[in-house]
Amino acid sequence: MSNKILIVAPALAAALALPACGSSSTTGANPSDAGAEATPNGNPNAATTDAATDAPADAPPGTGLDAGDGGGPFGFPVSNVSTVPAGDGGTPGHVDITQSCTFDSVKGTFSGCGAVGSGAVFGTAATPNGSLGVLYVHDLTVEHGATLSVSGGLPLVIVAADQVTVLGEISVAAAAGVAVAGGAAVDGTTGKGGGTGAGGLATGKGPGGGSFCGAGGAGGNGTADAGTGGGAAGGTTYGTATMVPLLGGSSGAGNSNANNHVGGGGGGALQISARNAITVSGSISAGGGGGGSSANTSGGSGGAILLEAASVTVSGALAASGGGGGPGGGDATTDGQPAAGGSASSSIGTSVGGNGSAAITVGGAAGQLMGGGGGGAGWIRINTATGSATTTGATIAPSLGSACASQGKIGG
């Protein structure tokens, strides 16, 4: 079964027996995606929303992004997406983010962004692996000093008919135990890890870190002065190098649902597909969250970043590293360095959390005593016409050439 989404007009959806984009149908979606409808156009901060099908402005309406022969109006089949939402029938335009603000990947709304331009078109659609939020623009610029933070629970796909330029930052990163954009958080009732690669728990020992591409570190073994590891294992690794399907990272674990006992959230998932060019001199962050202030908490894994365009130039940072293990583990950063595991002393000794993944080291480090393991690396993928992006001076973590970051050809 194909992992691409198909966003179709309501009449065509009925003919094909497929759910229309933005409809309340949850066919093929995870239960948590139920009710994720497009925001009404009356909201002044909302992207234009609709269930219709459209193509880039210079392509025949209804062509979609993949003509079936590997072509389509982009000249290549866009990963995970077959067609784009058309809003009220207008064409996508320029979107300019000049100040730090948020975009909700479920509702399709900008918040605190000021005037962003007139060209954002949004829709949601179900896939066999859950729903995706799809934001369609002609071109998008995140200016110097501005951060576009994604909220909402759906992985986000940004499709640009021309280009995307990131001078500031786009973030789908987790913050401590809070996950966004398809990243998994800990269970709100039990404190157990969330996601396919959730960190493990073991009585009297430290929890394991969240895993995605890279494995989370093991927790400490509960015995003072016994070295690192020996506790609960990190989660199971999963996902694919091509990032089809588009998935988010998994959380660490904790021994309860109290705030200071919650493991770090998994990094979210972001795909940017542009017809012509993507330029990143700022940063794109999909890092995992750090473990809580208590021992018995572990770091979340990094998330997923997929960039594809005829030309991709990165001189800034792409980061999908894991968070540090608790107690007091750090959130993943964009500087290529591992998020530090925290430490705390008690009557039985000093518990130390393992560091998160970074650069060429894709696995999280083990914890000590009751410390949690660090989160493993997420995935990074860059697809271009030549199969080789320009990355001079870039900071990419996990590093290109590692098991968790790779390049390919668009449509390859």
Average pLDDT over residues 366-378: 96
Q: What is the pLDDT of residues 149-186, one digit of tens each?
A: 999 999 999 999 899 999 999 999 999 999 999 999 98
pTM of the complete model: 0.86
Q: What is the pLDDT of residues 30-81, one digit of tens each?
A: 333 333 333 333 344 556 544 333 344 443 333 455 533 444 567 788 899 8
Q: What is the pLDDT of residue 356?
A: 98
Q: What is the pLDDT of residue 6?
A: 34
Cα–Cα nearest to 321, from 335, 309, 342 = 335
Check pLDDT > 90 for residue 121.
no
HSE value, Cβ hemisphere, 13 Å, CA-based, for 319: 30
Q: What is the pLDDT of residue 15?
A: 26
Domain ranges of the chain: 10-171
Please spell the DSSP secondary structure of 29-84, one letter per residue: S-GGGTT-PPPPTT-TTBPEE-S-EE--TTS-TT--S--SSS-STTSSPPTTBS-E
Average pLDDT over residues 249-259: 79
Q: What is the number of other CB atoms lying within 10 angstroms of the CB of residue 48?
A: 23
- Higher-pLDDT residue of 287 and 84 is 287
Q: What is the pLDDT of residue 114?
A: 81
Q: Is the CB of residue 39 less than 8 Å from the CB of residue 122?
A: yes
- Higher-pLDDT residue of 292 and 22 is 292
What are the residue ranges of helices labelled H in 238-357? none
- Higher-pLDDT residue of 115 and 334 is 334
Q: Is the CB of residue 5 less than 8 Å from the CB of residue 64?
A: no
Q: What is the pLDDT of residue 117?
A: 65
Q: What is the pLDDT of residue 162?
A: 92
Cα–Cα nearest to 252, from 233, 266, 232, 268 = 266
Chain-wide mean pLDDT for the chain? 82
Q: What is the pLDDT of residue 26?
A: 22
In degrees, to the nearest 5, what angle opens at C-alpha 326 toward C-alphas 231 and 246? 90
Which of 45-49, 142-146, 236-240, 382-386 has the lowest average pLDDT?
Answer: 45-49
The percentage of the chain sitting over the pLDDT mark of 90, rounded to a whole number, equals 61
What band does 352 get if pLDDT is binned at 50, 70 and 90?
very high
Which of 132-146, 213-227, 247-261, 309-323 has the lowest average pLDDT?
Answer: 247-261
Residue type (1 letter), 190? T
Check pLDDT > 60 for residue 325.
yes
Q: What is the pLDDT of residues 122-157, one digit of tens each?
A: 888 778 888 999 999 989 999 999 999 999 999 999
Q: What is the pLDDT of residue 124?
A: 81
What band does 229 get if pLDDT is binned at 50, 70 and 90?
confident
